[in-house]
Amino acid sequence: MKRFVLFTAMILFMIAVRAQRPADANFVEANVKPYLLPDVLRTSKHAKIRNKADWENNREQLLDLFEENIYGQMPKHFVDIKFSLVEKDELAMQGKATMKKVSVEVFNRGQSVKINLILFVPNHLRKAAPAFLLINNRGQENTDPTRRVKSGFWPAELAIDSGYAIAAFHVSDAAPDDKESFMNGVLRLYPEQLAAANGMRAIGAWAWAASRIMDYFEQDPDVNADQVILVGHSRGGKAALWAAAQDQRFASCISNCSGNTGAALSRRNFGESVKVINTNFPHWFTPNYKQFNDREAELPVDQHMLLALIAPRPLYVTNASEDLWADPTGTYLALKHAESAYALYGLSSRLPEQAPAINQPILNTHLAYHNRAGIHDLTIYEWRNFIRFANFHFKN
Ligand code: GTR
């Protein structure tokens, strides 16, 4: 009986996954049509960006283009924010770590929303710890505060042993990942967004929540708020990029297998397309984005410019070799095309012309990359490399 239920569930899951992948999606490199990317070093008025000052002057305009057309507005104002320590265990992980559960409650318009943070900090460090913050888009069990469940998605012990704090919040606190109920979170504080064609939606709300966790870190002496590395997988990786592009307090960003409207170029139209993502997940992006279904070339931006907005901070994007849906080649190219923004800060790139071989990470640089052998996932392989990357930037 149990087996039958499991088998049926698997078949239903496979049908659901298939349903999202239209027959006309392109998975053949030779079928990618020629495309022209907007130049990272030109303003929307086509003025040349020559140096760091020009770039920084144009930052807001570039962010506005992403807001207006893709991710929606990012409300900055709220009436109050309250941090409450809900639980603390100074002897977590056999005494190696201190576990804190913190509720971050934000008030606006007579409403409040609570983002629940789970945080482990290493006990052996005598100073504030650099920290990984994961935007958790999978099951809550992946970030089990009791550590009875251990998961490669968020290997807290590995981070602690390596001298990092590790934290997570669940996307459902900020915006349920569902087209009927996504508004039951952050958007209760900003109901006007729902009526706006450039209004915030779920991915924007997750990114907004990451910034509120940053507000908390800024006043927790156990965490080094100048060394917070924001991590997201897939849809969480899209939100991580958007959050880090907006909020320069994030010292670094890691976007894992984030694919379409994450780290992959939209104009290649390889794997998932803008139309497919807007159809399957209408609650992720702003209504304006739907105008670009089958019209990627008309977007005033492409995703390499979102990556460029992270400059000069260390950025790491990844792929998995079997995850063609997320377009590994288009992801690598987006990273390559972000190089010119980093160069304005005197940061030369170590990325070769062609993507590196599978399982050959490029780590000790501001633009890091790997393509792991296997399927769409966030695994211990990723985290071992994330820690090497973080050691290079924050421990040297
Ligand atoms: C897929 C979606 C992708 C990616 C992924 C995930 O169904 O098409 O854009 O976000 O979900 O979040 O795992």
pLDDT digits (tens, 9 = 90+) for 39-90: 999 999 999 999 999 999 999 999 999 999 999 999 999 999 999 999 999 9
In a domain, 233, yes or no: yes
pLDDT band at 9; cut points 50, 70, 90: low
Residue type, 83: F
Cα 239 to middle of ligand 1, angstroms: 12
Structural domain count, the chain:
1
DSSP label of 90: E
Separation of CA 79 and ligand 1 centre (Å): 34
Q: How far is it, in rounded angstroms, from Cα 278 to Cα 263?
A: 16
> What are 80-89's contacts with CB under 8 Å, separation 24+?
80/106, 80/107, 81/105, 81/106, 81/107, 81/212, 81/215, 82/106, 82/107, 83/216, 83/219, 86/116, 87/145
- Quick one: pLDDT at residue 11? 61
- Between 235-246 and 52-66, two packed helices, what is the crossing angle to 10 degrees? 130
CA of 230 to the centre of ligand 1 (A): 19
Q: Is the CB of 314 under 6 A from ligand 1?
A: no
Q: Is 321 a catalytic residue?
A: no
- Tell me if 8 is assigned to some domain: no
For β-strands 97-108 and 111-122, DSSP reports them as antiparallel
Whether 393 lines ligand 1, by a CB cut-off of 6 Å, is: no
* Residue 30 domain-assigned (yes or no): no
Instruction: State whether the Cα torsion 195-201-204-205 is positive or negative.
Output: positive
From residue 380, how far is each of 29, 156, 321, 371, 388 by CA, in Å?
A: 30, 10, 16, 14, 12
pLDDT band at 13 (very low <50, low <70, confident <90, very high): low
User: Using one digit for the tens of pLDDT, what is the confidence trace for 337-392?
Assistant: 999 999 999 999 999 999 999 999 999 999 999 999 999 999 999 999 999 999 99
Residue 96, both tokens:
């190696």
CA atoms within 13 A on the CB side of 226: 5
Among 385, 321, 322, 326, CA closest to 355: 321
Give the DSSP letter of residue 70.
Answer: I
Q: Say if 24 falls within a structural domain.
A: no
In a domain, 11, yes or no: no
The least confident of 9-23, 77-91, 254-268, 314-328 is 9-23
What CATH number is associated with residue 63?
A: 3.40.50.1820
Q: What is the pLDDT of residue 214?
A: 98
Task: Spot the catalytic one: 170, 172, 233, 234.
Answer: 234
**Interval 167-187: pLDDT, tens:** 999 999 999 999 999 999 999
Residue 94 lies in a domain: yes
Q: Is 213 in the pocket of ligand 1 (CB under 6 A)?
A: no
Of 212, 273, 209, which Cα lies nearest the Cα of 236?
209
- pTM listed for this prediction: 0.95
Asked, for residue 115, whether it belongs to a domain, the answer is yes
Angle at 94 between CA 90 and CA 95, to 5 degrees: 35
Give the C-alpha separation, 61 to 41, whole Å: 13
Pairing status of strand 315-320 against strand 252-256 = parallel
Please say if 366 is a catalytic residue: no
Please state the atom number of ligand 1 nearest to the C-alpha of residue 236: 12
- State the Cα–Cα distance between residues 113 and 265, nearest whole angstrom: 34
Q: Tell me which residue range forms the domain holding 83.
A: 50-394
Q: Is the CB of 168 under 6 A from ligand 1?
A: no
| 234 C-beta closer than 6 A to ligand 1 | yes
Best probe residue, ligand 1, of 135, 235, 256, 323 (max atoms within 8 Å of C-beta)? 235
Q: Is the distance from the beta carbon of residue 272 to the nearest atom of ligand 1 less than 6 Å?
A: yes
Confidence of residue 22 (pLDDT cuts 50, 70, 90): confident
pLDDT digit string, tens, across residues 193-213: 999 999 999 999 999 999 999
In a domain, 302, yes or no: yes
* Backbone CA torsion sign across 39, 44, 48, 54: negative
- Percentage of the chain beyond pLDDT 90 is 93
